[in-house]
Amino acid sequence: MTESSENSRKVAANRKAFHDYQVLEKIEAGIELVGTEVKSVRTGQVGLSGAFGRREGGSIILQGVNIPPYEQGNRFNHDPVRPRRLLLHRREIERLGAAVEEKGLALVPLSIYLKRGWVKVEIGLCRGKTHGDKRETLRRKMTDRETARAMSAGRGKRG
């Protein structure tokens, strides 16, 4: 999340996005939802894998986010994978849209969380990783783990 506070609660995270993409920038945005979608999000039922954002007209639309129907929603329930509009300032929309179209970047939702009762989405402006980049990331994580283990083992022997 871009701002950590006691009033926010993470509902869903897109861990696969950090594996497949290099996140260049993180942006917090509101999301336009109907009533039963908000209730489903509050119960923690959100799927972000395979979701992406794209510019349509004067707004950015989030596609592929799966919010299952609310169990007590009866006939007023929503379509689980409908496109949802992101609530951003016009300048942000223009800047992100230009970056996606010109530089070959992608808008990927990283997490959905509740902040002061509002549903927020953390979007990443991302560049796709190649197979070699993914291997390098794994190598770096393994060496970091090994050094942390060595440091903690060294501290235990001194005492």
pLDDT digits (tens, 9 = 90+) for 55-107: 998 999 999 999 998 888 777 788 888 999 999 999 999 999 999 988 879 99
Q: What global pTM score does this model have?
A: 0.78
pLDDT of residue 70: 85
pLDDT of residue 134: 84
* Strands 84-87 and 8-13, bridge-based pairing: unpaired
Angle, alpha carbons 94-98-103 (nearest 5°): 155
Residue 59 host element (H or E) = strand 59-63
Q: Judge whether residue 159 has pLDDT over 80.
A: no
Closest CA to 79 of 90, 63, 93: 63
pLDDT of residue 76: 74
Tokens representing 82 are: 């409908």
pLDDT grade for 153, boundaries at 50, 70 and 90: confident
